[in-house]
Amino acid sequence: MRRQALGITSLIAAAALVLTACSPAAPEAETKTLKVVYQKTDSFTALDTLFQAAKQEFEAANQGVTVALEPIQANDDDYGTKLALALRSPSTAPDIFYEDTFKVRSDVDAGYLLKLDSHLEGWKDWDTFDAGAKAAGLGDDGGTYAVPLGTDTRAIWYNKKVLAAAGVSVPWEPRTWQDILDTARKIKASDASVVPFNMYAGKASGEGTVMQSFYELLYGTESELYDADAKKWVVGAPGFTDSLAFLKTLYDEKLAVSPAEALDANVWKKVFGEWLPQGKMGATVEGSYSPSFWQKGGSYEWAEYGQDMGVTAFPTQNGQAPGGVSMSGGWTLAVGAETKNPDLAFEFLATALNQKNSLAFNIASSQIAVREDVAADAGYQAANPFVKDVSELVAVTHYRPATADYPRISAAVQEATEAVITGAKSPEQAAADYDTAVKGIVGEAKTVAR
């Protein structure tokens, strides 16, 4: 029976083929698909919610166009790796994708991003974007290749109850690095089971290690990572060695997490989900987005976080001006250079980042708004108890060098921190090896000793 059925099916198929071959070619329906690639994790679903809303809105306004959402379930570093693989081939490259600001220039150089200047000229919403935030999407040629979703700052987030139990007055406002060590030692002496002060280190935390740890230290010294005027990378910087030495003290005295915990890529989940809510950690350096994990609907709901947590600026090394240090980054949306539908792709980007969708995303992810009409919205300003505090840190913030070779430099910094906290190298040795690595990456002519 099965063979007979197959035979009948084959005859029907053959007949259909003959009829098709003899008939005039029918015009294909005008259908187009836009592929959107972005990051989604168990604890970060705000972007998926944004794109689901934008897809519904866009498809209703563009009959015959399908938006195919392809979230990548991965942490930041793994997402970057998988996106880079997809971008290498026109057959796998997305039409629209979520792009970290520090990757924009290197990906422009690689030819992965479409220049958006001609599209932005006709988009009236572009005038509402903060001028500083717009710079995040620039390429070396001065053109714009990506549009920011929001920005952020970094601060010290501390558990008031843990500090109070250790006899530390709150609100806590450390003025120097020594103030941090003094407080951490008090917490340790009060309860040895508590992690007094977390600062990320090592390669596993990727950009988290530099953005939420090392750069707060380095930019609070008299040294810097990159001389923007000379367009050269700084080597031999005393502040670089001092920053590594501070991390060594923190880890050697067991004032931070253990090196094994620091080298776990998921350590941040314990920080947000366990140690701070359960009173097992005194403080951590983290982003302005921190409330998004604790607020209603967040991955680690914590109803009392507004009362139990405090936030303060990370101090400069010796209390010198401007007194505090922060780092800002953020993510963008970009259009793939290989897209066959550049106009539609930009239209989708503009839909995703209109006022309504931007407002919802900035609130859900506790981002600092880059649209003036979102920043002025009463709902945004009342989104969490810390919006004002973290927004004020923009005055003392720094940005990562916007160069194509930055990702490799960042990896070298991460290696230096790992070498120090594991005891593999002294701060001086690790700093010297970093200098050598930088010269190897960019060439000695593009470095300056200071």
Task: Report d(CA 84, CA 77) in Å as an integer.
Answer: 11
Per-residue model confidence (pLDDT) at position 131: 82
Which mean pLDDT values do the consecutive 10-residue runs of the chain (450 residues) have?
38 41 48 96 91 98 97 90 95 96 91 98 95 86 95 96 98 98 98 98 96 98 94 97 98 98 96 98 97 92 97 98 94 96 98 97 92 94 93 89 90 98 98 98 96
Domains parsed from the chain with CATH numbers: 32-152+329-399 (3.40.190.10), 154-327+401-449 (3.40.190.10)
Which residues have a Cβ under 8 Å from the Cβ of 269 and sit 6 or more positions away? 43
Residues paired with residue 197 on neighbouring β-strands, in sequence order: 283
Token pair, residue 107, equals 């990906």
Distance, CA of 299 to CA of 281 (rounded, Å): 19
**pLDDT score of 133:** 84
Determine the Cα–Cα distance for residues 219 and 230; give it in Å rounded to an integer.
Answer: 18
**pTM to 2 decimals?**
0.81
**How many angstroms separate the CA atoms of 239 and 220, rounded?**
8
Give the closest residue to 121 by CA, choosing from 350, 357, 375, 372: 350
Q: What pLDDT sits at residue 30?
A: 66
pLDDT at 29 (0 to 100): 52
Phi, psi of 96 (to 5 degrees): -135, 140
